């Protein structure tokens, strides 16, 4: 955790100081303390870079924890909010929401920003319900069907998002398309206010249920024999997971693979005890998103690559590797 924290501080330092305008640490501190007389530097630090970094930290940690919960509750190491369609469901609901607020996407108000995660949660719940219904077999959740159904639901929800986006005017369509790819370049303090309560409330609940997540690594029969109300606990954890994903998607769009990669790396570092794994998982997720955002805005400057695309470049090969390993163990 100490090494991860050091790497995260380094990534934050690079994101704050580097860009189209290079700013020294001393000037950043002056801006944070409102002692800097340079209005341009204050604007860059306080309105552009700092909100972007905070959103990256919140979204990265939220998606990583959600991925860890999904993998434990389904017993499938390939489970991920993006792969399973929860991202797409939340995203489709938010695109529909944005459709009714055309012309306000760039200057969205605080009240509207607070409503976006709620709409996202409705879409995420709908996607999860469909996946759950189609994956239920012989009185239990079939993990392989869960994965395949999730991929199908994700495709369907993605098609709905695209159809609704095409009905928008040109400017809003461009914004919605960039957002759908997974981008935090439009981050602001209103978005932070809208997502923060979800993280603050739901993450402690999930952490409190760490021992239940440990038990879910066993089969359902053994779990029931230990006195755990399996379906009730799974429903609660899944609801928390959907809430986290919906809040993150509402401010950052469809950033995939964080929930897949971070839990696997965390387990290799800490083992399967969720009380140790979840904090490390959150740090890894935050580090991945902050680093990906830094790469996207500097390596391709003056153009900017969306965070979701940078993560996908890493995530797709990792997903294929996991599939290959899973196939090798099955054989």
- Decide if pLDDT at 106 tops 70: no
If you search the block for the tokens 């998606």, which residue do you land on? 63
Domain ranges of the chain: 49-73+256-331, 84-184+214-253
Report pTM: 0.87
Q: How far apart are CA 107 and CA 105, in angstroms?
A: 6
The packing angle between helices 258-270 and 307-330, to 10°, is 60
Find which of 32-41, 114-123, 238-247 is predicted with most confidence, using mean pLDDT. 238-247
Strands (E) in the chain, as ranges, are 136-137, 140-141
**pLDDT, tens digit, for every residue of 190-225?**
889 888 999 999 999 999 999 888 888 777 677 777
pLDDT at 204: 95
Query: Before 302, cis peptide (omega within 30)?
Result: yes
Q: How far apart are CA 188 and CA 184, in angstroms?
A: 9
Residue 232: which pLDDT band, with cuts at 50, 70 and 90? confident
- Decide if pLDDT at 309 tops 90: no
- Decide if pLDDT at 118 tops 60: yes
Percentage of the residues of the chain whose pLDDT score is greater than 90: 23
- Decide if pLDDT at 331 tops 50: no
- Quickly count: other Cβ atoms within 10 Å of residue 1's Cβ: 11
Asked: is 84-184+214-253 a CATH 1.10.3470.10 domain? The reply is yes
């Amino acid at each position: 955790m100490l090494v991860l924290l050091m790497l995260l501080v380094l990534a934050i330092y690079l994101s704050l100081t580097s860009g189209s305008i290079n700013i020294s640490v001393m000037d950043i501190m002056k801006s944070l303390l409102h002692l800097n007389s340079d209005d341009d530097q204050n604007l860059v630090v306080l309105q552009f870079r700092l909100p972007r970094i905070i959103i990256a930290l919140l979204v990265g940690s939220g998606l990583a924890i959600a991925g860890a919960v999904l993998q434990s509750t389904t017993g499938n190491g390939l489970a991920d909010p993006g792969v399973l369609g929860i991202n797409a469901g939340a995203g489709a609901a938010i695109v529909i929401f944005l459709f009714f607020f055309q012309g306000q996407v760039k200057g969205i108000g605080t009240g509207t920003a607070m409503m976006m995660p709620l709409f996202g949660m409705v879409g995420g719940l709908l996607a999860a319900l469909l996946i759950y219904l189609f994956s239920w077999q012989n009185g239990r959740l079939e993990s392989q069907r869960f994965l395949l159904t999730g991929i199908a639901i994700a495709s369907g929800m993605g098609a709905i998002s695209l159809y609704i986006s095409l009905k928008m005017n040109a400017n809003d369509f461009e914004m919605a398309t960039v957002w759908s790819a997974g981008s935090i370049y439009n981050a602001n303090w209103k978005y932070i206010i809208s997502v923060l309560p979800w993280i603050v409330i739901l993450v402690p609940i999930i952490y409190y249920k760490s021992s239940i997540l440990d038990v879910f690594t066993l089969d359902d029969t053994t779990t029931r024999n230990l006195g755990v109300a399996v379906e009730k606990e799974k429903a609660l954890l899944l609801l928390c997971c959907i809430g986290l994903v919906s809040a993150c998607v509402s401010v950052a769009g469809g950033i995939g693979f964080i929930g897949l990669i971070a839990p696997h790396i965390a387990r290799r570092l800490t083992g399967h005890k969720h009380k140790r794994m979840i904090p490390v998982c959150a740090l890894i997720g935050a580090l991945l998103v902050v680093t990906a955002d830094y790469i996207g805005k500097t390596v391709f400057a003056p153009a900017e690559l969306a965070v979701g695309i940078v993560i996908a470049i890493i995530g797709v090969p990792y997903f294929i590797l996991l599939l290959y390993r899973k196939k090798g163990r099955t054989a």
